[in-house]
Every structure is written in structure tokens, then in C-alpha cells.
Amino acid sequence: MPTPTASNADLLRRRSAAVPRGVATAFPIYADRAENAELWDVEGNRFVDFAGGIAVLNTGHRHPKVMAAVAAQAERFTHTAFQVAAYDSYIELAEALNARAPFKAPAKSILFTTGAEAVENAVKIARCATGRNGVITFSGAFHGRTLMTMAMTGKVLPYKRGFGSMPAEVYHLPFPVPQNGVTVADSLKALDFLFAADIGPDRVAAIVIEPVQGEGGFHPAPVELLKALREICDRHGILLIADEVQSGFARTGRLFAIEHSGVEPDLITMAKSLAGGFPLSGVLGKAEIMDRVEPGGLGGTYAGSPLACAAALAVLSVIEEEGLCARADAIGETIKARLETFATRNDLVPITAIRGLGAMIGFDIVTDRTGGAPDKETTARVTAKALAEGLILLSCGTHGNVIRILVPLTVGDAVLAEGLAKLERALTL
């Protein structure tokens, strides 16, 4: 049992002694309890949660319907291993996801536990279905910390340093970001060069893209790029994989962010908000592709945990019953409008490039509002000051200067307004 009287300082000291440095924690607070968009630490300090456990809590902390579904499942059984004795909730969830697939072809779904595991398995399925090896991803992308997904991740520090050689046949294209001076034409030209210099298109199994780049800085993939990739994939028999681990489940105002583009992916990776705080991930894809792997080639002891499946079924109903896609749009509008006013004020840190889809909103902190450089130090100061104000706020981005907002979509208007007021104070010079 945890010590009930533990202080943050005490836990930090014990953590430093017992847990390696390799797993970093953004803030020196230790959680005691949480509800919807609020969290209390072990000292009783209250925080408005704009992080949602890194995009896991679109339906908030401990949504009553999710908790009830998990409790009911726990009364029946907690684990059997789907490979040993399968269960209804896994099948029902697969059916529910297939019915919501953003493509016309018949769909199938398979479940895992973490986002990285979903991405790994999407690559395995794509390689098996195409008989090819090559995987193309983007600079700034984040796909996970396992060996293959680390290779696919487009950022060296801190994700790749010290971990030896990367798995072969992974290639990166520059991701189009106006602030980085990279256009869609640049990305497509780089793909032409890649096909000419490194790997012929006939050896590429998949192009993997986040419809909104998450860790890389909350950059929506331009529709023009997604359309061009779809066309190139069709021309060369390459599969297009949308990594929706961070952008999925109503965050952007649609169930999947790729729906904004009208482009149909072949496979989709899902995790995070799929199960409202319980560990669950999956691959949803065209049935004809998904069925190419021989029995036994996919799975995992905990993959598709019954507790998490029950949670995910509740999450899907909550998204629909509470209209969370529309709510994401409304929250996004409120946040953007407020940020636009912040961007004009001289008494606040200079912010620019307010962007995002639905409630997946990010902005840059720069040294100077008119064409300044990315300001990582000030960004770190802002998140630390936000914490002192009682707001959990995450940064991200290749240059570490992006603030991202991942507030639960179930947040009430009052708590949202309170969080934005805290953000304003955190930005004050």
C-alpha cells in the first residue's frame, strides 16, 4: 500500500532512488486522485488537467460509464488471454470499430495493449500482405519507443541516442511544417529522391503518417499531402497507414482525424483515448489485408484485455451519447479564440502559429512575435509556471517550443475557462 501521508518531495526522493532516470516525468507532483478534467496530488493540491494523461482521457478521468463497465467486467473475469479463451467484449469492440472504419472496404480489427505495439503490428501486417520490407515515415513523427517504432520515430534526442543500430529499411521524409520552411512539394520531392536513391517503390510495404503530428508539434498533415500519398500508394501497391494513436477518438472533432481529409487509409493504429484510461490499442484495417497473416502470427498475452475492452465499448457510447465530436469543435473554438487574443498582447510571452483540428490545439512560443526563433527555455518556464498556477500543461515539438492542449472533451465550461485563465497567467511576462 502507498504511504497515505507521502509528500511530493518524499516521493521524488524515493523515486530517484528506486526508478531509473530513463523514464522522465514532466512535473514533480504525485497523483492522489482525479475526476474528469481535475487532478489532486498527494498534498491535496488541485490541478486543471490540460494533458489528459497524454491524449488518453478524451472522456475524462474515471468517466462514470467507463468505471461501471470495467467494474461489471471485473465481476465476471479479468483475464483469460484471447488466444486461450476468447470473449464477447473483444468481438463486440472489433465489430464496433469496423462499423466506424473511415473506408468503404470491409474492415477487421485486432487488439493489443500499447500504441507502439499497434504500430509494430501494423508494420508486420503490411509487410506480410505486401511481401515487402520498406517503411516510410516522417521527420518529427512519433510512433513509439520499441525498437521498430523507435526507428520509425523521426527525432533522435531523446528517443534514439545510445540505443544502437536501428532496424533496417526505415526511411524518413521531411514533414511539411510552414515554420520549418518545408512545403508539401518538398516532402513529395524528397519521396521521389528516396525512390530513386534508396529504395524502389516496389520494395516499400507502407507509408505511415500521423494525420495530426502529435509529439512532433501538433501539425495537421496537409490534405494535399495525404491525397498525394494515397495516389502514390495506389500507383505502387504501397499501403497507407494512419497512426491515430494520439489524434483518434473524437479529439479532432471526428472519430479519426484522417476523416477530415476524405482520404481512405488501408490500416489505422489506435490506442490512448480508445479505452479512457485503460491500456488498450489496436489495428483497424481493410479485411483483405488484415487476413493475410497466418494464425498465431499476431497477438499477445494481454492483448485486448477484457477490462480494457469493456472500457472501450463504454468510451464509444460516451463519444456518441455526449456528442464529443461536436464538443471537441466547440472546445477548440473557445481555446483558439482565447489564444488569438493572447497572441496580440505585449504583456504575454510571444506566441504564434495557433493551429489544430477540433480540440487538438497547439501553438509555438518564440523569441519574437514577428519572425522570432523557437524558444524552448521560455516554453519550459511556461509549463512550470502553469503547474504553480494549478494547471497541467504539456509541451512538445521538434524544437521543444510547442504548447499542446489535450483537455478532456468532457470538461465543463467553468473548468475549461479556469484552465485558460491559468494558462494566461502562466504566459504572463
The residue ranges that bind ligand PMP (CB under 6 A) are: 54, 114-116, 119, 142-144, 210, 214-215, 243, 245-246, 271
Q: Give the separation between CA 214 and CA 252, rounded to whole angstroms.
A: 12
Residue 415: which H helix or E strand, with range? helix 413-427
**Which of 383, 407, 334 is closest to 55 using CA atoms?**
407
Q: How far is the CB of 226 from ligand PMP (least distance, A)?
A: 15
Q: How far is the CB of 53 from ligand PMP (least distance, A)?
A: 11
Q: How far is the CB of 174 from ligand PMP (least distance, A)?
A: 18
Beta-bridge mates of residue 351:
365
Q: How far is the CB of 138 from ligand PMP (least distance, A)?
A: 11
Which residues lie closer than 8 Å to 339 by C-beta, 6 or more apart?
A: 351, 354, 361, 363
Residue placing its CB nearer to ligand PMP in the complex, 205 or 348: 205
C-alpha cell belonging to residue 107: 474492415
Contact 208, 173 (CB under 8 A): no
Going along 290-381, which residue ranges are E strands? 351-357, 360-365
User: What angle, rounded to 10 degrees, do the helices at 306-321 and 324-343 form?
Assistant: 70
Residue placing its CB nearer to ligand PMP in the complex, 137 or 352: 137
Q: How far is the CB of 286 from ligand PMP (least distance, A)?
A: 20
Helix (H, G, I), strand (E, B) or coil at 395: strand
Contact 275, 315 (CB under 8 A): yes
Strand 360-365 to 391-392 pairing:
unpaired
Q: How far is the CB of 277 from ligand PMP (least distance, A)?
A: 13
Residue placing its CB nearer to ligand PMP in the complex, 52 or 201: 52
Residue placing its CB nearer to ligand PMP in the complex, 114 or 398: 114
Cα 413 off chain centre by:
24
Residue reference for cell 483558439: 336
Q: How far is the CB of 266 from ligand PMP (least distance, A)?
A: 17
Residue placing its CB nearer to ligand PMP in the complex, 38 or 215: 215
Which residues lie closer than 8 Å to 240 by C-beta, 6 or more apart?
A: 206, 207, 209, 229, 230, 233, 263, 265, 266, 267
Which residues lie closer than 8 Å to 103 by C-beta, 6 or more apart?
A: 264, 265, 266, 286
CB closest to ligand PMP, residue no: 115
C-alpha cell belonging to residue 67: 468505471
Q: Give the separation between CA 185 and CA 208, rounded to whole angstroms.
A: 18
Residue placing its CB nearer to ligand PMP in the complex, 174 or 201: 174
Residue placing its CB nearer to ligand PMP in the complex, 213 or 352: 213
Residue placing its CB nearer to ligand PMP in the complex, 116 or 349: 116
Contact 293, 124 (CB under 8 A): yes
Q: How far is the CB of 6 from ligand PMP (least distance, A)?
A: 26
Q: How far is the CB of 211 from ligand PMP (least distance, A)?
A: 9
Residue placing its CB nearer to ligand PMP in the complex, 119 or 357: 119
